[in-house]
Structure 1
Amino acid sequence: MTYYKLENAVDTEETGPVYPQTDGLVGEATFSSENSYHQFSRLNLPEKFEPREILKFAHSTKLSDFISNGGLLSGKGFIISEKAKNVLEKLSIVNHRFYPLPVEHRGQLIKNYYWFKMYDPNSYETVKWSESEFFVKRFSNNLGAVELNSFEDYQEKRKDFHQFAFFIPSKLVSEKRPEDIFYFEFGNTGIIVNQHTKDKFEENQLTGYKLTKIDHISFV
């Protein structure tokens, strides 16, 4: 099966000439309230979220089904429309939730947008470490190859490098994943979707996303 990296589209006819498509919060709201978006992180999946702050879409943003947020909301996920949510709900996805978002665009309250967030801390369990190959990268500098024999080995060797250095797979071998949408909690592999997901996105004419074919990850 063919797999793809799923990302937000940037500066397209569908999304408008702006990145990110979000423009902070409305008025004097901050990220410091009890129910702030700040509670989201790469390492959680809150059970309940009742935001007090209104998310603002940039004026030149077009209301696509996937909205780029430029890191405004943390963790693995996307700001999506209800149309995209309806498509995603019919697919097999790693642990995830859909959180309703209060959104304003050009002074008008926009309904039916969501923060689609995933959290899969055990995604490394399917990786065949001895068959995979990694290198260390810090900013644009390739610091050379690193041999990893397990996730514990990855965690231990990671301590020897700067926090902004990343272990990137040049070749990643994994057991077959049963999900249509998933990711690996290391290595900046991004969010991965299969051919079935691509077909459903196209069939439903979703907008605001980009898919790039993955060649360096194999599933056996």
Structure 2
Amino acid sequence: MAYYILNESLNRKILGKYPQVENTVYSCDSWEDPRFIEHESVSFEKVNFTPITAKAILAKKARLNDFMYPGGMGFSKKPLISGKLKSILEVTDKQGLQIYNSPVIYQGNEIEDYWVLNPYIFDMQAIDFKNVDVYLMEKYVHKIKKLDVLTYEDFIKQKAMIQEKGYPYSIYIENVHILENTTSDFLILENVEGGVMYLVSERLKQHLEAEGITGIEYQPSYISFNEWLAKGGLREQLYGKA
């Protein structure tokens, strides 16, 4: 089954304005408060309390979409989704995901039914490691060498060794292929391009499109972001020029 990375739309007609988010409001000290969603004890961790989230302020000419990627403090590697999209994702079999209310401010009004994803379990065992490239990275941008990784167990061993080295070294997976026997409709991966990937199956993609979910461009998981954005490439063919 094919899988697709959820990317924020680059089409100005869908966005209304790029970037959509022009500022962010915080109700706590975003650097120091241990309850804030970006704090190291909360971000990508399972917690037994409701974290403090940020409020994205949308540009006046932006459009409210079901899927947005504000970026910045409060939304680092975490998308912002509408209640409509939340209700769809909640009925998938994805484990290890907490979803927190994160209202947006739009044209002077606070829109309550928006939510930020905070995964704490990643679906790395779904990766077909025989068909991906795994690298030792320096400062997250420089490929030092390709690693001999053919199984999930190989990946775990290599990752543990690299973590012992510490910064500036990290492990990175490129051109993600998903195992053929995977049945989950919603996957979340780490140590990949962009840091974290949110992927949907062909089946869920079709459902989201039928439901009119807005703001998403579906990138096949096995191609890189640069390939996806190439002039005249697949993205442009499917969604038009950015």
Q: Alpha carbons of 1:91 and 1:76: their partners in 2 closer, same or farther (altered >3 Å)?
A: farther
2:17 corresponds to which residue? Answer: 17
Which has more strand, going by share of residues?
A: 1
Asked if 1:190 corresponds to 2:190, the answer is no
Residue of structure 2 in register with 1:208 after alignment: 215
Q: CA deviation at 1:112?
A: 0.8
Query: How far apart, CA to CA, are the structure 1 residues paired with 2:176 and 2:90?
Result: 31
* SS of residue matched to 2:160: helix
Cα RMSD for the two superposed structures: 3.3
* Residue 177 in structure 1 maps to residue 188 in structure 2: no
Structure 2 unaligned residues grouped into runs of 5+: 225-242
What one-letter code is carried by the residue in structure 1 that aligns with 2:87?
N
- Structure 1: 5+ residue runs without aligned partners? none
1:50 to partner: Cα distance: 5.4
Change (3 A) 1:61 1:216: closer
Residue of structure 2 in register with 1:163 after alignment: 168
Question: Is this contact kept in 2: 1:131–1:172, CA < 8 A?
Answer: yes
Change (3 A) 1:12 1:216: closer
- 1:128 Cα deviation after fit: 5.8
Determine if contact 1:94/1:179 at 8 Å carries over to the other structure.
no
Q: Deviations over 1:15-69 (max 9, x none)?
A: 222225252116x864244643333755313333253764423333211111221
Whole-Å separation in 2 of the counterparts to 1:9 and 1:76? 16
Matched residue, 2:2: 2
For 2:50, the equivalent position in structure 1 comes to 49
TM-score normalised to the size of structure 1?
Answer: 0.77
Q: Is the 8 A contact 1:76 1:117 kept in 2?
A: no
Please tell me the residue identity of whatever aligns with 2:79. Answer: F
How far does residue 84 in structure 1 lie from its aligned partner after superposition?
Answer: 1.2
The answer to which structure has the higher helix fraction is: 2
Contact 2:104 2:111 survives alignment (8 Å): yes
- Write the letter of the residue equivalent to 1:155: A
Question: Partners in 2 of 1:49 and 1:43 — Cα distance?
Answer: 13
Residue-by-residue CA offset, 1:194-219 (whole Å, 9 max, x unaligned): 001101110111111111112369xx
The structure-2 alpha-carbon separation of the partners of 1:144 and 1:113, relative to structure 1 and needing over 3 Å to count, comes to: same
Which stretch of structure 1 is more off in the superposition, 106-115 or 166-175? 166-175
2:99 & 2:84 partners in 1: Cα distance? 13
Deviates further, 125-134 or 195-204: 125-134
Q: How big is each residue's C-alpha offset from its partner over 1:145-203, in whole Å with a ceiling of 9 and x where there is no partner?
A: 22232412222045557536542335656473332111233233622210011011101
- The secondary structure found in structure 2 opposite 1:205 is coil
For 2:216, the aligned partner's letter is: Y
Q: Displacement, 1:134?
A: 2.0
Q: How many residues align?
A: 215
1:83 corresponds to 2:84: yes
The whole-number CA distance in structure 1 between the counterparts of 2:209 and 2:165 is 44
